[in-house]
Chain A
Amino acid sequence: MGIATKVLDCSGLMCPMPVVKTAKAIKEMVLGDTLEMISTDPGSMPDMKAWANQTRHELLESRAEEGKFRFLIKKTH
């Protein structure tokens, strides 16, 4: 996973908090910044995909490893 501008650890949090915290973090960043979000909620995989699709921010990467889910998001607007 590439180097992100900011890392947001949502481990231990359940729906809808990873998505809510991601939205807040992205809002506070500047255009072109990337956010790495880490979650333990398996629902984050479909939810982050839906969130990126709805908000039109770019989901560069999403993967599951060792019980954690990692996402790299680029702020596009």
Chain B
Amino acid sequence: MAHGTNKLALIASKGTLDWAYPPFILATAAAAMGWDVGIFFTFYGLPLLKKDFKASVSALGNTAMPMKMPFGPEGFQNINWPIPNVIMANIPGFETMATSMMKQTFKNKGVATVEELRQTAIDLDVKMIACQMTMDVFGFKKEEFIPEADIAGAAAFLAFASDANVSLFV
């Protein structure tokens, strides 16, 4: 490349469906531009590296989450249902419903799934670092994670990030 390789260092700290997207989208876009990319998965972001992960979306505390229906005429789909957050978050089964609605809406709009984006990141040689400390604290086993994950600590990530052009905490 004419002007050297750019480098992106990301920290993925959240594991809900909505928050799983930004690190994988940024990582794959940067890798597609020829950047060197590394993601450090820590705390609630760590399960995104599990072989079998089930991300869901919660309405709890997610006060800006739009509530849209993934079916029906376009005008109906565009309605942002005015359901108060405190009610949404307290209805049993709401999380499951909101998760499936978000997945359906994203599918309808042509947004890739988190699993597809993660595989794309792997194909593009994005470096994925699983936080050793989080694994120990939550009692996760190495075998539960995809083989592409490198298990390391904060120092290893910082060494990678030390000469990154862009560093983001997600």
**B2 sits at the interface (CB 8 A):** yes
Write the A11-48 contact mask toward B (1 if CB under 8 angstroms, else 0). 01111110110111000000000000000110000010
Contact residue among B3, B6, B25, B124 (Cβ-Cβ distance under 8 Å from A15):
B25
Taken together as a complex, chains A and B put the C-alpha atoms of A3 and B2 apart, in Å, by 27
Contact of A54 among B25, B33, B109, B124 (CB under 8 A): B33
A55 lies within 8 A of B33 (CB): yes
Closest to B34 in A: A55
Any chain B CB within 8 A of the CB of A68?
A: no
Residues of A within 8 A of B33 (CB): 19, 23, 50-51, 54-55
User: Which residues does chain B contribute within 8 Å of A20, judged by CB atoms?
Assistant: 28-29, 31-32, 120, 124
Q: Does A63 contact B (CB under 8 A)?
A: no
* A residues whose Cβ falls under 8 Å from a Cβ of B: 12-17, 19-20, 22-24, 40-41, 47, 50-51, 54-56, 77
**Beyond A23-B34, A77-B1, 6 extra complex contacts between A and B, CB < 8 Å:** A19-B29, A19-B32, A20-B29, A23-B33, A23-B124, A56-B2
List 30 A-B pairs, Cβ < 8 Å.
Answer: A12-B110, A14-B109, A14-B110, A14-B111, A14-B112, A15-B25, A15-B29, A16-B25, A16-B28, A16-B32, A16-B117, A17-B110, A19-B29, A19-B32, A20-B29, A20-B31, A20-B120, A20-B124, A23-B32, A23-B33, A23-B34, A23-B124, A24-B32, A41-B110, A54-B6, A54-B33, A54-B34, A54-B35, A55-B1, A77-B1
Contact residues of B with A, CB < 8 Å?
Answer: 1-3, 6, 25, 28-29, 31-35, 109-112, 117, 120, 124
